[in-house]
């Protein structure tokens, strides 16, 4: 078996509509559940923390979500849109993503005093 055989998708074309509908429904359910859990967690934090502390938590959360969305921007789309992709390309995407995430982590740590 060739190393590129792992990424062949010809055998997946049959029943694609059914699998797509199942995948979409699972995605909708999980995203809805995640939204509900986050909402409940926010309500609980708002009750437990003082308004000043809750404001600090939401400020930090805003910055961390911004950096998180910046870190993965484009790599998923680039991987999905390729008609053919090799193991080497996927490995390169992984390590680039790890490197960018590490740099963003260092930036977030360095900017902590300014944010605080």
User: What is the tens place of the pLDDT at every residue in 49-93?
Assistant: 998 888 888 888 887 777 777 666 677 777 777 778 888 888 888
- Choose among 55, 68, 69: nearest CA to 115: 55
11 confidence band (pLDDT: 50, 70, 90)? confident
Q: Which domain holds residue 38?
A: 1-48
Q: How far apart are CA 57 and CA 53, in angstroms?
A: 6
How many domains does the structure of the chain reveal? Answer: 2
Q: How far apart are CA 101 and CA 95, in angstroms?
A: 10
4 confidence band (pLDDT: 50, 70, 90)? low
Mean pLDDT of the chain: 83
Predicted confidence at residue 66, as pLDDT, reads 77
Domain check: are 41 and 58 in the same one? no
Domain check: are 58 and 108 in the same one? yes
Q: How far apart are CA 81 and CA 69, in angstroms?
A: 19
- Choose among 63, 66, 58: nearest CA to 41: 58
Domain check: are 80 and 40 in the same one? no
Domain check: are 54 and 39 in the same one? no
DSSP code at position 83: S
Q: Are 108 and 63 in contact (CB under 8 A)?
A: yes
Residue with the larger pLDDT of the pair 98 and 82: 98
Assessment of whether the complete model's pTM goes beyond 0.85: no
Domain check: are 104 and 72 in the same one? yes
Domain check: are 65 and 112 in the same one? yes
Quick check: 13 pLDDT over 60? yes
Q: How far apart are CA 58 and CA 52, in angstroms?
A: 10
Predicted confidence at residue 65, as pLDDT, reads 79
Domain check: are 36 and 66 in the same one? no
Domain check: are 63 and 103 in the same one? yes
């Amino acid at each position: 078996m060739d190393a590129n055989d792992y990424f062949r998708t010809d055998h997946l074309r049959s029943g694609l509509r059914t699998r797509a509908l199942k995948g979409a429904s699972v995605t909708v359910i999980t995203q809805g559940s995640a939204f509900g859990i986050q909402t409940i967690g926010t309500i609980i934090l708002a009750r437990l923390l003082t308004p000043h502390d809750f404001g600090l938590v939401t400020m930090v959360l805003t910055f961390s979500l911004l950096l998180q969305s910046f870190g993965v921007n484009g790599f998923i789309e680039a991987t999905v849109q390729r008609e053919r992709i090799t193991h080497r390309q996927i490995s390169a995407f992984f390590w680039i993503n790890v490197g960018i995430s590490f740099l963003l982590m260092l930036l977030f740590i360095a900017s902590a005093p300014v944010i605080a």
